[in-house]
């Protein structure tokens, strides 16, 4: 089975579920200067792919400065808090 989704056509904000089945994929649309509160994704490995824009990604005590095209992989048991430096679109995959 093949599934195809047009990311620009997803309208839910800031989160839109891309695929319901494994691996779960979510499109995150952030406005400039929008910050999501610290949270965790226990028992998951998280792939955080910045499609466009620029995001400071807080992972515990570490802050990653990510831009369009950057892909970060991390353990979901750590506190995560993305902060958009400009309007940004991110694909988050949970594996």
User: pLDDT tens digits for 29-47?
Assistant: 999 999 999 999 999 999 9
Looking at residues 44-67, what average pLDDT do you find?
97
Rounded to the nearest 10°, the torsion over CA 18, 85, 52, 58 is -50
**Beta carbons within 8 Å of 77's beta carbon, 6+ residues apart:** 40, 41, 42, 43
- Correct CATH for 42-95 of 3.20.20.140, 1.20.1250.20, 3.40.50.920, 2.60.120.10: 2.60.120.10
State residue 68's pLDDT score: 97
Is the model's pLDDT at 20 over the cut of 80? no
Looking at residues 59-75, what average pLDDT do you find?
97
**Residue 85 burial (CB < 10 Å; 0-12/13-18/19+)?**
middle
Model pTM score:
0.89
């Amino acid at each position: 089975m093949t599934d195809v989704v047009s990311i620009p056509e997803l309208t839910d904000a800031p989160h839109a579920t891309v695929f319901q089945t494994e691996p779960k994929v979510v499109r995150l649309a952030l406005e400039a200067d929008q910050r999501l509160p610290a949270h965790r994704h226990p028992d998951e490995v998280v792939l955080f792919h910045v499609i466009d824009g620029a995001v400071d990604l807080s992972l515990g005590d570490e802050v990653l400065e990510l831009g369009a095209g950057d892909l970060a992989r991390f353990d979901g048991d750590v506190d995560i808090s993305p902060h958009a430096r400009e309007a940004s679109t991110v694909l988050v995959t949970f594996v």
